[in-house]
Structure formats: structure tokens, C-alpha cells
Amino acid sequence: MAWYPGATKYELQPESDQQPEIRPTQFIAHSIIAPWTAKRVYEYWRDSTNLESHFGLGYEGDLGQFIGTETRADANYRANLRPDGTGAVSIETASNLEGSDPWTPAQVERLIELGVWLHRTHGIPLRICRTASDPGFGYHRLHADWAKDGTDCPGDARVRQFTEVVFPGIVARATNPPPASGGEVPNYVNLGLKTPMPLPPGGGFTSVVFENEWSDTAGDHVPNGSVAVRGPASFTGSLSLTVSDLPPGEVVQVRMSEYDGGTWKADHPTHDVAGTGGVTTAVVPLVKRLGPGRGMRVRLSNQAGQPVTVVGAVLTALVFKES
């Protein structure tokens, strides 16, 4: 069994020793609908129910682990343990009694740190789970097979945080470790789509307009602009994309394009996002070097024979400015 060194160990017995092993392939976030500390979550699992999660997270960032991540926990219904031996790692997080409040900054930070550790320790891939059994990251209400009687958990505010802040943060930190002491500290950019973006069929490329700006320490993004990074600079990061109504097997193409002001200068190779039907999610890596005067835009093209809608696009990147 694996124990996360960043959590306080509150081992549940006899569950920790008696429940079957799993091969962890998913990480699922919950709200516990109570303003509890990690220790109080442990006491609830120990004294009041035969259900449990692997982790509990309080408002102040206090993180407890109750069962090793290679042992089954019972918070995820059919994702607890599948016939092939795979299963999900679960975390219950403190919330108000309505499950309507957002995660605190301390909770967001601990979720990101834990997500990175799970990716590095167990190889959980850096994507949002496309189906109930697809390896990756998710939240309780994402798939029906994760909740026996249906659920709104973890609440609308936290679903937005998961897609716009937490998951992009996991991807950025997992793929871009912080610099060693004394090294260059990069700029950080975190932008997002605010209103849905229709993409008509026909194959033409349309620039993503980033209306939400959560961080832009380099000052490269203008309000409601498409340019995310300006040269001279090197950058590395990702685009988390959510598309509705993209039929299975059809694709939306993603490409980075260089502009000088409003004038197109160069296109980079495309990345295909394949439809899964209903809502399609993908994480597209963004790694490039821009020369002086160049700005980078992300452009999308609908290759399907019907209209689709981009309902979410979150860009997260570390930017290294060059002189």
C-alpha cells in the first residue's frame, strides 16, 4: 500500500488490512457536506459508518489519509474496485452544509499537490476521465457509475474550480517542476473561456478569446484578448478543452499560431481532439519558443459535419522571458 508523505496518517482498521487491493487509475474529488477537519472525517469513518474515502481535507489545508492508495475505499460506487482490478482514489473535502461553497485556497493547493503525487506514484494520466472507467482525474458527479443514487457532489462552484484551476494546476505542476533554488522563477499565466464558443462545421480555424484572466504575471494578455504569450519567450503548459456535441470519431483540431499584432505569421502542427459523444474533454500540451514581436494564439477547427460548442477552455503555462 502507498501512503502520501504530505498527509497525516489516520489508519482505519480493520479496513486498511482487510479490504482488497486495487491498481489505482483514477482520482475522484468529493465534498463531505460538513465543515470538518481531516481528523474529524477520520473519526466519522471510524465510528459512524462502514464507508470511507482514502483522504480527507479540511478547510485549512489539513490533509489526512485513512487507507493506502492501493487498497479499496468505498466512496466511489462502481469505481471502488472493477473486475480488472483497477479502482479510484477518493478524497472527501470539507464544505458547508449545502455543498455550495468553493474550495479554499489552502484546499486547492493541497488538491494540486496530491494530484501531482498520484500522477507520479501511480501513473494516473493527466486527463479528465472521459468515461466512468477511463483512467484520469474527476469529481463525484462526473459519471453516473461513481454515485449509486446520483449526486450533485462536489457542487457547481467546485466543479468550476476543478476544471478551471485544480486540474490545470495539476497538469502544469506535474509537467513543469518548480526551478531549483537560485534558478529562474518563470511567469505564470492562467486564462479561460467565459462564454461558450460555437464552432461551425467547415474546417476553418477560429482563435480562442480568453475572457477570464486568473493570472498573468508577464502582462502579455490584454482583456478579452486571444494572445496568451508574447515573445521573446519560451513557454510550456497545457490547454484543457471541453467540447459538447462532438460525435464519436470526429475531431476538433487545436493549433498554436504566431501573430505580429493582428497579422498572422506562422502556424504550428495541429493536435486532434477525438469526440466521445456528449461531452468530450482533452488536455493539449503547449510548448513553444516565440521570437521578438510574436504573440501566440490558440485556434480551433471543427472537422465534424455538424456544429459543436466549446464549453470550456483553460490555458495554463509557465513563461520564461528572454532578453
Domains along the sequence of the chain with CATH: 8-175 (3.40.80.10), 187-321 (2.60.120.40)
Residue count (the chain) = 323
CA dist list (Å): 113 to 101, 106, 121, 177, 222: 21, 11, 12, 11, 30
pLDDT (average), residues 230-254: 92
Model pTM greater than 0.85? no
Helix, strand, coil percent content, the chain, rounded in steps of 5: 20, 35, 45
Q: Which cell is 205 given?
A: 480555424
For residue 47, the cross-strand partners are none
Per-residue model confidence (pLDDT) at position 243: 93
- φ, ψ of residue 142 in degrees (nearest 5): -60, -40
Distance (Å, whole) CA 194 – CA 122:
33
Angle at 73 between CA 116 and CA 58, to 5 degrees: 60
pLDDT digits (tens, 9 = 90+) for 35-78: 999 999 999 999 999 889 999 999 999 999 999 999 999 989 99
Residue-wise pLDDT tens digits, 189-229? 999 998 999 999 988 999 999 999 989 998 999 989 999 99
Q: What are the pLDDT digits (tens) for 99-158?
A: 999 999 899 999 999 999 999 999 999 999 989 999 999 999 999 999 888 888 999 999
Q: Supply angle C-alpha 35, 38, 40, rounded to 5.
A: 70
